[in-house]
Structure 1
Amino acid sequence: MTLLICPTYMESSWQDVLNVTTYHLASNKELGLRWFSQLRSNKERVQFCFNYQIFRNKLSFWLNVICGSQHKKHWEKASELRVEGNRCFHDKDFGKAVECYTQSILSAPFPRPNDAGEHHEELALGFANRSAALFHLHMYKECLKDIERAFQQGYPQELSYKLYQRKGMCLHYLNDYSYAKRAFSEALHILKEGRLDTKKMEIQKKEIQNLLKLCETPRHSMPKVQPYDCDDKQTLPDISYGRNSNFPSASSAVDVQCNKEKGRHVVANRMLSAGDTIFVETPYASVLLPNFYTTNCHHCYDKLVTAVPCHQCSQVRYCSEHCCKESWVKYHKWECGNLDLLHSVGIAHLAFRIILVTGMPCLSEFLKNKDRTDDQEMYLDTERQHCIRNYLRVYHLVTHSREMYVEDNFQYALTAALLLLLLKKVRFFCSDDNHTCSDGCSDISFESTPFNKEESSGNNSQDPSNNSDFIQNLLINSHDKTSLVAATGGLCLRHIQQLVCNASAITQLQTFQAENETVLMEKQVRVATAFYPSSSLMNHSCDPNIITSFHKDKLIVRVVKKVSPGGEVYNCYGPHFRRMSREDRQKALIEQYFFVCKCEACEGNGEWENKFQALRCNSCEGPLRPLNDISRTSCIDCDREQDCAIQQQKLFAAHDLFIQGLQLAEKKFFKDALEKLQKCHKIREKLLYKHHKQLAEVRDKIAWCYSSLGEFWLAVGFLRPTLVTTSEQFGAHSIEIANELQKFSDLLLNAIPQLLQEGHNSKESFIRNVFRESHEVISRAVEIFSIHYGSHHVAVKELKEKEKQLEGLS
């Protein structure tokens, strides 16, 4: 429930504005939340926010404060950043130089009239300089792309010989000798038109001629360097059993069914096996999180190697010109220059994006006909049939608006009202080709945005703070353009409500180096939020039979356990029975999704989850039940009662030892840390159940310390039992056990050379067992990663490389 707080502080965020406004509404008897709660349609809820001056002032003020031109392009800034890049290049810090040149490229105006003026070459120079840094990083394919971009943006003709020479060298490294010869020949031709003095021209000419000769004898040419940007891209998997003609993005092996108890849900119509791909879905709409603007493409979310800029703002980055143009056409032409405001509303940005990608022509057609019930036939004669049918899949997702707290619904409505004003500001409603513009707007072309559109001071419709006519029009209940605008506000609110239950996080696997500098760690990081209408129809289970992964913005759903014909396909909405207690799961699901989960994991006795935090039975060594108020309990296995007060005291001491050991290890005092951690381990091993989380935790830290000291075989001995615990807790085919196996394989590959060098090769059976264990660990990890992410996943490729290393050691 939203916390109502007194407005005694500065409203520094949109959430502050919402909290203060909600406080005023709840405190005002004339307005009151009671009035708002009686409204039954989303259109009325949004109109309510325009009915009162206090709300209108808040909306207009926030629109004025946040929307600005701080991300406008400036050639002066681009030039400064390019000079900084030159300094880094001179210092041979090529990675930093690439980033400086990228920032220069983002800041440089495009060479069109009234943009760059006399400094029209700035963008081309940025691309050319970045290509030089990329060349020194052996990123030849990316270097070639930047060379072409420099030419396209008007790189000076008299300097072009440099780029052709660099192009030829890249092609030579990539073994494309015929095209390399063409590039060198072009460089020689252009050199004649250069402004070099005679001496420098002869030196440059000789250098290019020598490079040209190398193309005649490629076997004895430049040393071959493995390109940094080698082709390791994942590919999209095929949908198992073919595509479903009646269920977009789904396999023909699944269908949608509907009943009163479960609503719409997904069922198998044949036997599904682990590894089957049942969804490959492109999001209807999605947004990149601001924290990843510098590392991921703004449109497809692929990790950036080099960036392509927006034509108008310096805020976003793209992986290619294709993504840049597609983004502009679909949504960025309205968002350009307004992203700070959209960031301020959080996840509601995605609701705004849904409106944009749907488009006003489609929305207006939909709104005029949405009360009809024959959804399958109503649009058959219109050219927008496909667009509207796609939108219907989003529109019909549940909102749970009646179950939401009235305070939350009001805050969502106020946010929708703000977004409606932004839609008016960017002239979105003028994009409906069935209507003339009612607010003085004109269509925005690819070259035109709020940044370079000159607005007349006499035209009040362009001023976000002067919305009186616009707001009054929203309150008119007619069938003209203004009614459609008001209804769009209701749709925006509907999508905000839907996001609470239907939005999906797009994640990417990030690899980072552990402090011991030996073991690589991996974790899934959320980079974007998206709407996937088809896969959203899967119901929840705390023990799901599918797993999701992503290829850029594409959602991939794979089966992880068998599903019989007629069996339901279950997703997990977050609360997983292996990661959360039943009580916490139920609380989370009720608060966000408004239902009580009755899956098998929730209907069970609940004792399974206790054993990972259970004490050890003195009699049978099984797990004990949770302690009562006087520190007594009984064993889950043998049911024997016992007093555990003394064990608790010893475990407190063990915890202190663990913290001390961890602090020493973080300071890299690994030998001292081992002394503390091994004492802790001795106590915990005696008192805790064998699969207790804290026992696995201390073993993992001991393995870390031994690994940091180069004692890999000792580290193997302590990490091995944690695999059993991880498997018990998360499942034998879970991604958690796959990650642990990958870490364990790193230790084994480091331990084997040591064992061979230390004379263990005299014990052939021992060495054979180590090699066999290593093969089994890698094979098992490959199998699990393949089921979860497919055989082309980077983790699978890394494990197969380890297999080759293992064969080399044998």
Structure 2
Amino acid sequence: MYHVNMQMQALNAVFEKQSGSIVFDGKYTNEYEAIKLLHTLHNRPTHERIIREFLTALEQLHHVESTGVASQRLREEGNQKYKSSSGDKELLLSACRLYTEAILTAENANNELCLAYANRGMALQDYGYYRQAYDDCACALEFGYPKKLHHKLIMRQAYCAWKLGNLELLEEHIHSLRGMQLNESFQRQLLELQENVQHLTQHKGAIEEQPVSAGESSVHQIVNEASSRGRYMIAKERIPQGSIIFTESAECFVPLEKHLICQQCAATQLIPIPCPNCHKRVVYCSRQCRERHKSIHKYECAAYKRDLLHMLGISHLALRLVLTYLPLLTPQLQKQRNASELWHTFISLANDDNDDDITAPQYLKTLRMITHLDKVSETELTYHMLCANLLRAYLFECTDFFDQFADTSAPSEDWQLFIAACILRSSGQLMVNGHVGDAIMPITLGLKEFTLLQPKLWDRPHHLQLGSLHKFSAFQLVTAMNLPHLSLCNHSCIPSIRTKFEGRSVVNYALRDIEANEEIFNCYTGDCKTTTFKERRKQLKNTFKFHCCCVNCRRQHPDEEYVNSEVLNFAALQRLIFPVYV
């Protein structure tokens, strides 16, 4: 905590030095003009130097030799647990936890990292986590496991492929093993695997998971009107209570509060595969997820090493939006000659309403989300400007992000200005459109502990011990995500939908019967049954910059539902009657 506080103090000092020279001349125009103001300050070179010094000071160097020694010690402790396990499930998971610590500790000490992965793969296979064991063997080979022992890992992979019913992988590994010199024991194992190929061939078949996307349901439609309300969602037909209205999957999200969840799919129950360069801050649930996230993480890795992103709040998610969607926009931007042309082309895409909102790609829906930066105070606007500019400088100083624009018409300086403006725009949109996802997490589980490796929870893989169900009774907020389709629902303190989060996807149910042509409402704060009118009004004004005019808030006694709610408790009643003293 002390380290985090020191970092925040350093960031505040940087922003204070920069903000003193920013003078707003007239009314806020747009994000591009706001960032342009920073880039045209007469003392900009000084500002750039301050940012460079700050980024350099955040670097956290580590010594490969010392991390290797610490990893070896943890691995050897895991070996002792494994040797004494004799099939005992709790001891096997205890060994896996130690091997996991060895993996996280090794970081990029590859000589130890590969051994820790190999040993964890062995223990995971014995326990019955075959998919994770398979990935661990692949990681061990990736990070330099001794070549003379490759046959041991490939044999484990073949065994796991058989257990997983993956005929293609099983045949691939058997083919590799046939070309190796194997002792008598491994030859017998190979013959057994070959027999299993025939069995799998006869029972081939797998159920493929169908992707979830927004707009699959036809029970709602998007309305566009010229008034200040903008877009909103109405029911095309009567929707009974409990029915699914629509589903949506977030293409962009970030973990909250340093939760170690999968950065690609938001899985919370995982056996971690970390990025070895991130100082234990980024993990994935599988090698496949790690590979799919590579195009984003290659530009965030250096920021995680510096522990930079957690300090910037919603600006981190804004950065990830830009990193995710920019490749889709670049073909339409590459011929623009300067920052002004880049910005105007970008805005023209955001203002193009020809595509239907249900079927439009998520990046276009995101471009069209409203922003309230024109309604915030100058202090708040300055903060978001400086965050966007800091991330622009980070991308330029610490990554090769801007190299991808070398062959475009606009020079690097203009691309930098444009990217900072895009990050600022996304920040303004997410302030009023961002969503927070939750997940069921075991009670008392720490941020850096992993559910699937808790010996006191599991009787066998994915089967809870008798009497442990209550330990999964806690919901925790784990993600901040971009859901532009859900964001189309306007606010009401009496919502008509209920949202269920599952990883990076959401399913939206009808909370009550919704009649045809009735608007579909979400609730941005606590609803009228769980919070007071005063509390909701304050939060909506501070965060979303509007006063609610829903049916409940127009009542003579807007707290009637709150007072009569079955969930009302004594503390809540005290807060309502004695707000000054409680």
TM over 0.5: yes
In structure 2, distance between residues paired with 1:341 and 1:574: 29
Aligned to 1:663: none
Question: TM-score, with normalisation over the residues of structure 2?
Answer: 0.74
2:239 to 272, 283, 286: 272
Paired residues of 2:244 and 2:509 also in contact (CA < 8 A): yes
The 3 A distance-change label for structure 1 pair 156 and 401 is closer
How many pairs were matched up? Answer: 509
Question: TM-score, with normalisation over the residues of structure 1?
Answer: 0.54
Aligned to 1:625: none
Q: Deviations over 1:532-573 (max 9, x none)?
A: 122111101111111112232122222221111111111111
Q: Deviations over 1:597-631 (max 9, x none)?
A: 12122223235346459xxxxxxxxxxxxxxxxxx
1:606 to 541, 558, 566: 558
Counterpart of 1:326, as a letter, is R
The 3 A distance-change label for structure 1 pair 215 and 413 is closer
1:418 equivalent in alignment to 2:416: no
Aligned partner of residue 279 in structure 1, secondary structure = strand
* 1:581 to partner: Cα distance: 0.7
* 1:428 to partner: Cα distance: 1.8
Unaligned runs of 5+ residues in structure 1 are: 1-9, 193-204, 218-230, 240-247, 380-386, 437-478, 614-689, 698-810
Compare relative contact order (CA 8 Å, sep 6+) and give the higher one, 1 or 2. 2
The 3 A distance-change label for structure 1 pair 577 and 15 is farther
Paired residues of 1:364 and 1:432 also in contact (CA < 8 A): no
Counterpart of 2:400, as a letter, is R
* 1:102 to partner: Cα distance: 3.1
Aligned to 2:222: 256
Counterpart of 1:369, as a letter, is T
Aligned partner of residue 558 in structure 1, secondary structure = strand
Paired residues of 2:22 and 2:38 also in contact (CA < 8 A): no
Counterpart of 2:390, as a letter, is L
Aligned to 1:292: 259
Aligned partner of residue 256 in structure 1, secondary structure = strand
Aligned partner of residue 302 in structure 2, secondary structure = coil
Deviates more, 1:348-357 or 1:248-257: 248-257
* 1:138 to partner: Cα distance: 3.4
In structure 1, distance between residues paired with 2:548 and 2:247: 27
Aligned partner of residue 506 in structure 2, secondary structure = strand
The 3 A distance-change label for structure 1 pair 147 and 523 is same
1:41 to 18, 23, 30: 30
Counterpart of 1:364, as a letter, is L
The 3 A distance-change label for structure 1 pair 59 and 14 is farther
* 1:399 to partner: Cα distance: 1.4
In structure 1, distance between residues paired with 2:289 and 2:388: 28
Aligned to 2:6: 12
Paired residues of 2:15 and 2:386 also in contact (CA < 8 A): no
1:101 equivalent in alignment to 2:99: yes
In structure 1, distance between residues paired with 2:371 and 2:106: 44
Deviates more, 1:303-312 or 1:266-275: 303-312
Q: Deviations over 1:480-521 (max 9, x none)?
A: 55334313222221211222111111221123389x989445
The 3 A distance-change label for structure 1 pair 432 and 378 is farther
RMSD: 4.5
Aligned to 1:343: 310
1:126 to 102, 116, 119: 116
* 1:63 to partner: Cα distance: 2.1
* 1:136 to partner: Cα distance: 3.9
1:327 to 293, 299, 310: 293
* 1:125 to partner: Cα distance: 2.3
1:16-95 matches, within 5 Å, as 17-18=11-12, 21-22=15-16, 31=21, 35=24, 38-50=27-39, 51=41, 52=43, 55-66=47-58, 68=59, 70=61, 74=64, 77-78=67-68, 80-92=70-82, 93-95=91-93
Paired residues of 2:77 and 2:98 also in contact (CA < 8 A): no
1:107-118 matches, within 5 Å, as none
The 3 A distance-change label for structure 1 pair 89 and 210 is same
* 1:207 to partner: Cα distance: 9.9
The 3 A distance-change label for structure 1 pair 694 and 494 is same
Aligned to 2:421: 490
Unaligned runs of 5+ residues in structure 2 are: 83-90, 197-205, 335-341, 446-466, 574-582
In structure 2, distance between residues paired with 1:610 and 1:101: 50
Aligned to 2:86: none
Paired residues of 2:532 and 2:559 also in contact (CA < 8 A): no
In structure 1, distance between residues paired with 2:521 and 2:353: 31
* 1:410 to partner: Cα distance: 0.8
Q: Deviations over 1:231-281 (max 9, x none)?
A: 9x9977978xxxxxxxx5452221111332532111111111223323322
Paired residues of 2:350 and 2:368 also in contact (CA < 8 A): no
In structure 2, distance between residues paired with 1:346 and 1:503: 12
1:392-403 matches, within 5 Å, as 392-403=364-375
Aligned partner of residue 443 in structure 2, secondary structure = strand
Aligned to 2:248: 281
Paired residues of 1:581 and 1:609 also in contact (CA < 8 A): no
Aligned to 2:345: 369
In structure 2, distance between residues paired with 1:529 and 1:212: 50
Aligned partner of residue 438 in structure 2, secondary structure = strand
In structure 2, distance between residues paired with 1:17 and 1:301: 29
Counterpart of 2:125, as a letter, is F
Q: Deviations over 1:644-665 (max 9, x none)?
A: xxxxxxxxxxxxxxxxxxxxxx
* 1:576 to partner: Cα distance: 1.0
* 1:336 to partner: Cα distance: 1.4
* 1:39 to partner: Cα distance: 4.9
Paired residues of 2:81 and 2:94 also in contact (CA < 8 A): no
* 1:43 to partner: Cα distance: 2.5
* 1:427 to partner: Cα distance: 3.0
In structure 1, distance between residues paired with 2:293 and 2:97: 23
Aligned to 1:522: 473
Aligned to 1:429: 402
Q: Deviations over 1:276-333 (max 9, x none)?
A: 323322224221235212xx1122111353233436545421122222122112x111
Aligned to 1:318: 284
The 3 A distance-change label for structure 1 pair 264 and 283 is same
Counterpart of 1:146, as a letter, is D
Q: Deviations over 1:435-456 (max 9, x none)?
A: 27xxxxxxxxxxxxxxxxxxxx
Q: Deviations over 1:195-221 (max 9, x none)?
A: xxxxxxxxxx5798599789999xxxx
Percent of residue pairs bearing the same amino acid type: 22
Aligned partner of residue 258 in structure 2, secondary structure = helix
